[in-house]
Structure 1
């Protein structure tokens, strides 16, 4: 079946790639016809660099892991889904018997198989077989495009959960990319009274400002810490979310943090970074790290369905499947103002 295949670093093709072994329907599986797939930063990074840390593209791999679609076949033991159900899918499948999974931390199971992470194929293809347990039915109020945003939103919800936000807290999100903005939305939904978002891109900051009580800060013109400390009478914010993946930004994570505050590290850092232990110590700062998410998908579906979180403003461009190679070329150029690009598959 025709798929978007990363042949090697810098080379994409729309072609047939036989993956019959991935398409066998087990008793607890469902077969899904893909509708919408988001382009994630990790997909682009595999395209431009051929690797992310220890995960190296050594053979042709189908890209894509932020997805929604329709159930077209169910396994003999499936009880919660039926043909015709509109769904989104959690892309990481852990080993159910691993110690991490049994402790509830299935996202850090070393054996987790995650779509579009070598050597596991992604879902920019017509159909996929997926476990019922990691497939979630959509309310009628949630579109396929919104459903394909559940995966990145889950990162933000997981980060907000780790932060232990209390009603009335103030937060800083460093980075106005897709993950930064879903984190800002999650922080507001969790109870933050106000969120500051810092970035270099005025167009993305304008989108951030439109999402609610969010104060944008362009760090090429202003110091985020100076703005925040002035606004808070020198106290600072209760939570800082680092969502840039930039070592330079990460070196400043404690500057705007109040005493007893929490820093949540979201952005991936390929190399060791500077860490101001003294600044953390005098604040008695709590530092949390997240890796993807766990137990977040049902919450995300519910919040989008109820209107508690609106992800539609983050979807800035949509391509048809036959434009997939061009879509990735554009995504790799990181155009100003683009947050989330999505690809629609033929129906």
Structure 2
């Protein structure tokens, strides 16, 4: 089938590739329609690895997707051919302890699209468990359906934060994940959501695309939020932000770690202890895709401003090159199948 293949570092191509996928009794076959480009896809493209995950052979990219069901397994009863769906891209081992405990996202053997050596979804069709395939409500477009995956990270973070009505929150980092975290925090009950970044251009883009839904705070002014918020979401992975995050939380507040970094970073243990802050961390998501879909369908989370650029599948290489250039006017680059 035709696919977008990462051949090696800095080399991708649209070409035919043989992928042997048998439709099991509890699987569905889906034709992808919209696929978002994630930062991890770009990182594999530019560097060939993320931590211990190393691209050692050609790999199909993409894990944020929506599409149309073209075939169903014999035991699938809740989906039918023609259904518009989105897919949760991680497939855990049902026999793992993590799956049995309900934290299947932490299963070390999870098969996650476009994470070596698992092929992603930038291709003509994918076979996926019906269990992790979700029907799109009629008022949710294919593009919005493809955005369920990144928004689910924000929803997971908001869920972990145990938000109470009227809480205030500060998001450190105004990249895609920081923005979806701010969206999820507001939808989950926060009355005031602040977002900051060292990049003035990113904050300008947030103001342009999201208006007054969040309060943007310039990096030079973020110190004014000292002891000011109930929850701090660290979505940048930057060492300086991790070191400073305890300053902004009120005594008894919460911190949620979302951003990732390649190297260990310092943490202000005393600053956390003297306020008795509670720290949480997330890795991807679990049990929140349906919740995320409801947020989007109800309008509580409006994902349309996230999409700043759209390319046809035939121009996927150009789309990845554009995303890799880290343009200041881009949030989410979307690819649509013709």
Please tell me the TM-score bracket, short chain as reference.
over 0.9
Matched residues in 1 for 2:190 and 2:223: separation?
A: 18
SS at match of 1:223: helix
Counterparts in 2 of 1:135 and 1:280: CA distance versus 1, 3 Å? same
TM alignment of 1:124-163, pairs within 5 A: 124-163=122-161
1: distance between equivalents of 2:322 and 2:217? 26
Kindly report structure 1 stretches of 4+ aligned residues shifted beyond 6 Å: none
Contact 1:32-1:73 within 8 A present in 2 as well: yes
Partner residue in 2 for 1:71? 69
Q: Work out the CA distance in 2 between the residues paired with 1:174 and 1:314.
A: 18
Residue 57 (structure 1) shift: 0.2
Q: Deviations over 1:151-207 (max 9, x none)?
A: 001000000000111111110001111111110010001110111100133443244
State whether residues 185 and 211 of structure 1, in contact with CA within 8 Å, keep that contact through their aligned partners in structure 2.
no
Gaps of 5+ in 1: 230-234
Select which of 259, 263, 267 maps to 1:267: 259
Alignment match of 1:50 (pick from 48, 51, 60): 48
Q: Distance in 1 between matches of 2:102 and 2:230?
A: 27
Question: Within 2, Cα distance between the matches of 1:202 and 1:304?
Answer: 28
What is the CA-CA distance between 1:225 and the residue it aligns to?
A: 2.4
CA displacement at 1:97 relative to structure 2 = 1.1
Match of residue 279 from structure 2: 287
Conserved? CA contact 1:241–1:263, under 8 Å = yes
Q: Match of 1:197, SS?
A: strand
Separation in 2, partners of 1:203, 1:345: 31
Q: Secondary structure at the residue paired with 1:248?
A: helix
1:169 to 167, 170, 192: 167
What CA RMSD, in Å, does the superposition of the two structures yield over aligned residues? 1.1
Shift of the alpha carbon at 1:322? 1.0
Measure, in 2, the Cα distance between the counterparts of 1:103 and 1:81. Answer: 26
Structure 2 equivalent of residue 238 of structure 1: 230
Distance, in Å, in 1 between the alignment partners of 2:313 and 2:178 is 27
TM-score with structure 1 length normalisation? 0.95
What TM-score do the two structures reach when normalised by structure 2? Answer: 0.97
